[in-house]
Chain A
Amino acid sequence: MTLASLTRDWEPMAYGFLDASAKREIRRKTLKAISVPGCQMPYASREVPMARGWGTGGLQVSCTLINPTTRIKVIDQGADDSVNAASIRRFLARVSGAPTTTDTLEADLIQSRHRIPEERLREDQVLVLQVPNPEPLRPVQPNMSIARQMHADADYGRMWLQLYEQIVRAGRVMQGASYPSLVNGRFVMTPSPIPRWDVPKLHMAKHLTLLSAGREKRLHAVPPFTKVEPLVFDDVPYKVEEHAHLMCHRSGLKGFFMNEIPQADGTSIHEVSDSDLGVKAIHRTEGAPVEIGATWYENGEMGQ
């Protein structure tokens, strides 16, 4: 063994920003996360040039997966053009030379904050979700060591109690986003703060979903064709947001998840949350040849 055999050639920077040992650690943990769907795997969570809590977990997973042919799409609450999405997309493109897109159909890797695109993802696509709080038990058990023991015991009684109390107090489940869901019949996970609208999209999906929390240093995964069942009581069915009847005032789309825009006169108008779908719909109305893929929801109903 010589010194030369132990070192690598000089490089101006590590490709994809993370150094090789950081990538290997994320690779090892991601493989374990895929093998135990929904189980939170601790990982080192290296520094990236962005404040923790702004998508550093998702960014590290993306940096590990990326290569010069990976076409990347980054969304923030459905929008490709918000500050968080635009800066992460530019950063990923700069450190990897990878091409970018806003079109869900063209993307190989989709990093997302709090939404799943409305168009169905294919079995060669990877969805990376940024997770602020990976622990679904935190509202009922703030001590994370005890929470880990509860996951080990599949002791989710308090999750059910929390839902029951919400129904008793408010008449309905008040959990708007990050709805606790049972993965592969064993682990309850938080699907990151995606709206209830998006949770059924994870159930038996064709794509691979990786959920990574940089600040909390944990990642979990939902492999393709895996059961993801929101926690519900038999007699209180799971309800998604009532957006089926809303129409986007810009693109005319109906039956998708909408952003509400309050108006000065007290009313509100709506805009489709998946901005690229809206853009494509507008282009199509103007006569441009645009391909809109099959969507999860058809006429406001989740398809099979």
Chain B
Amino acid sequence: MQTAPVPSDFETRTNATYDALMWALSRPGLIRDLPAPGVEGVIDALIDRECAVHAGTPDLCAYAAQTGAAIVPLAKADHVILPDAQTPAMLRDLRQGSDMHPEDGATLILIATLGTGQALRLTGPGVDGHIDVRVDGLTDGFWQMRRDVMRYPMGFEIFLIDGSRVMGLPRSTTVEVL
């Protein structure tokens, strides 16, 4: 009889974090729970020395660098972690991949407030009909700019993180500002 393998705390946490992120992108607009608050858990689950990261604060930079990831300017990063979306114009600089390689598009991780603020209507894959959500803490014109700069299948993914809650917005989701 073999003993059952026991996952380490790190494995348990990153596995649960990924589960939340995967379902957040699969069902845009539905809020999922991360095992721990903050973006550090997301960094643990996704980022290692194969990644190029741009982080908005020195603390996050240091945390991401510890995984072995390269710290690069925004336009070269495959993972962009920001405490807030400073200006909508920065979406223009994000990596979007190419028609041949849509997977080269960036993943944008933002701190936001979920459940209050601007009302949005989401449609697209993963949404049963449409879903209305409220997001606060992003700059004016953010959603307009997201719509204007992306041309499917090129684009970027957005994770909005509010404490230990996460909402995902894949590039395939259409966001209508209500």
B171 touches A35 (CB 8 A): yes
Number of interface residues of B (CB under 8 A): 47
Within the complex, the shortest CB–CB distance from A120 to chain B, in Å, comes to 15
The complex places the Cα of A42 from the Cα of B104 at a distance, in Å, of 11
Give every chain B residue within 8 A of A64 (Cβ-Cβ). 18
Alpha-carbon distance A187/B14, docked complex (angstroms): 31
Contact A224 B126, beta carbon cutoff 8 Å: yes
B170 to chain A, nearest CB (A): 3
B7 and A39: CB pair below 8 A? Answer: no
The 8 Å CB contact of A225, one of B11, B48, B128, B157, is B128
The answer to whether A15 touches B8, judged by C-beta atoms less than 8 angstroms apart, is yes
Q: Mark A20-32, 1 if CB is under 8 A from B, else 0.
A: 1101110111111
Q: Closest Cβ of chain B: how far from A184's Cβ, in Å?
A: 5
8 Å CB contacts to B: which residues of A61-99? 64-68, 94-97
Binds B, one of A4-12, A188-196, A292-300: A4-12
Whether A39 lies near B5 (C-beta < 8 A) is: no
Determine the residue in chain B with the shortest Cβ distance to A43: B103
Q: Give which listed residue, B4, B22, B125, contacts A68 with CB less than 8 A.
A: B4
The answer to the question of B85 belonging to the interface, with a C-beta cut-off of 8 Å to chain A, is no
- Which residues from chain B contact A11 at a C-beta distance below 8 Å? 8
In contact, A34 and B26 (Cβ under 8 angstroms): yes
Q: Which of A200-250 contact B (CB under 8 A)?
A: 208, 223-227
Q: How far is the CA of A97 from the CA of B157 in the complex (A)?
A: 33
User: Taking each of A20, A27, A31, which has the highest tally of chain B beta carbons within 10 Å of its own beta carbon?
Assistant: A31
Bound Cα distance from A68 to B4, whole angstroms: 9
Whether A224 lies near B103 (C-beta < 8 A) is no
Chain B residues with Cβ below 8 Å from A67 are 7, 12, 15-16, 19
Contact between A39 and B107 (Cβ–Cβ < 8 Å)? no
A265 lies within 8 A of chain B by Cβ: no
Q: A27-B18, A65-B19 are in contact. Are A32 and B152 (CB under 8 A)?
A: no
Would you call B146 an interface residue if the criterion is a C-beta within 8 Å of the partner chain's C-beta atoms? no
Query: Out of A13, A27, A35, A153, which one reaches B99, CB within 8 Å?
Result: A153
Taking a contact as CB atoms under 8 Å apart, the answer to whether A24 and B12 are in contact is: no
A35 touches B25 (CB 8 A): yes
Chain A contacts for B46, CB-based, 8 A: 24, 27-28, 31
Q: Give, as a whole number of angstroms, the nearest-CB distance from A3 to chain B.
A: 13
Q: What sequence of 0s and 1s flags, for each residue 151-162 of chain A, a beta carbon within 8 Å of any chain B beta carbon?
A: 111000000000
Q: A37-B125, A226-B126 are in contact. Are A15 and B99 (CB under 8 A)?
A: no
B5 to chain A, nearest CB (A): 5
Q: Is B178 an interface residue (CB 8 A)?
A: no
Once the chains bind, are A34 and B170 in contact (CB under 8 Å)? yes
CB closest residue in chain A, given B173: A35
Bound Cα distance A68, B15 (Å) = 11
Contact with A along B101-125 (1 / 0, CB 8 A): 0110101000000000000000011
Q: Of A9, A24, A96, which contacts B48 at CB under 8 A?
A: A24
Q: Tell me, yes or no, whether A149 is within 8 Å of chain B by CB.
A: yes
- Distance between Cα atoms of A34 and B152 in the complex (Å): 14
Decide yes or no whether A122 CB sits under 8 A from chain B.
no
Residue among A37, A42, A186, A187 making CB contact with B103, cutoff 8 Å: A42
Given the known interface contacts A34-B25, A35-B170, the answer about A97 and B6 at a Cβ–Cβ threshold of 8 Å is: yes
Is the CB of A41 closer than 8 A to any CB of chain B? yes
A184-B153 Cα distance, complex, nearest whole Å: 11
Shortest distance between the CB of A89 and any CB in chain B (Å): 15
Complex: chain B residue closest to A123, CB-CB: B27
Mark contacts of A164-195 with chain B using CB atoms, 8 A cut-off: 1 yes-contact digit, 0 otherwise.
Answer: 00000000000000000000101100000000
Q: List 14 A-B contacts (CB under 8 A).
A: A15-B7, A21-B49, A35-B25, A35-B155, A35-B157, A35-B171, A36-B102, A65-B18, A67-B19, A94-B5, A152-B98, A208-B26, A224-B27, A225-B125
With A32-B157, A35-B155 known, 9 other A-B pairs at CB within 8 A are A24-B46, A31-B21, A31-B22, A34-B170, A35-B171, A36-B172, A39-B102, A67-B12, A94-B2
User: Which residue numbers of B lie inside 8 Å of A, CB to CB?
Assistant: 2, 4-8, 10-12, 14-16, 18-19, 21-23, 25-27, 45-51, 66, 98-100, 102-103, 105, 107, 124-128, 152-153, 155, 157, 170-172
Closest 3 CB pairs of A and B: A97-B4, A35-B170, A152-B99
Residues on A facing B (Cβ under 8 Å):
1, 5-6, 8-9, 11-13, 15-16, 20-21, 23-25, 27-37, 39, 41-42, 64-68, 94-97, 123, 148-149, 151-153, 184, 186-187, 208, 223-227
